[in-house]
Amino acid sequence: MNKKITFLILACVFLIVGCSKKETTTLNKADRAVVWQKTQEKGFGKFEYLDISEKEAQERMEEKFAVTLPELYTSALPILEETLQTTENSKEKPVYSVVAKGNTLTMHGTYSYKNKQDGKYYSYATVEIIYEFDPEKKLVWLSSQDIMIFNYPGEGKVYLNEPKEALEKLAALTKLEDLKEKIDTFNKNIDKPAEEIAGKKLKVENSLKQAKEDNTVARNIGMDFDSNGTLSAIRVFVKDYTEK
């Protein structure tokens, strides 16, 4: 009888272990390319570096906090410039902040372009990179990557160079699978009359909800349109929901 009980207990243990292994999420090649993590003994502490330059912000992140800046961010910078810089505006110095609050580290940057004629800002971009630390697992990981390009839609004008091309280049940096097919479908949607896309958020990809449920990597990529059907924003967001 004791042998039978022991056998049943062992069988249950193996069954539980087997189920646990099946539930473990295996990242595909595309997702592995946009995540990053490393072991670390302590959190980030409490620091605020405000109104600093792009170079100083990058140095703080890489040298003081010893994190790796993602390819989506580093490769996006020249894309932002070629999209925002026109003959009608002048580029201002990017303004950055690096803020550490215990288990969270955030780098935020703003790229502004001033109109030469009236001194107003009709287009700009923001970048935000967030890292998180788990004190129990002694682990730091790249939590989210956010890139936004804004266009002032009030006059019904697009102040950006080739916004569709910019979105496709940024989407490629997220390693999105089936990119060409998704971009082709997206382009068909945004080429519709202004009244049909007015006030809409059109997507190349939005897997936020599903990725959170599946513990995988989420992407939210697309364009937003004002009530008059004019482009107001290009959005590219990547979030790591994987189990650590």
pLDDT in tens, the chain (244 residues): 554 544 444 444 444 444 433 344 578 999 999 999 999 999 999 999 999 999 999 999 999 999 999 999 999 999 999 999 999 999 999 999 999 999 999 999 999 999 999 999 999 999 999 999 999 999 999 999 999 999 999 999 999 999 999 999 999 999 999 999 999 999 999 999 999 999 999 999 999 999 999 999 999 999 999 999 999 999 999 999 999 9
Q: Is the pTM of this model over 0.85?
A: yes
Give the pLDDT of residue 26. 79
**What are the strands, taking DSSP E only, across 18-94?**
37-39, 45-52, 89-91
**What are the strands, taking DSSP E only, across the chain?**
37-39, 45-52, 89-91, 95-102, 104-115, 121-134, 139-151, 201-206, 217-225, 231-240
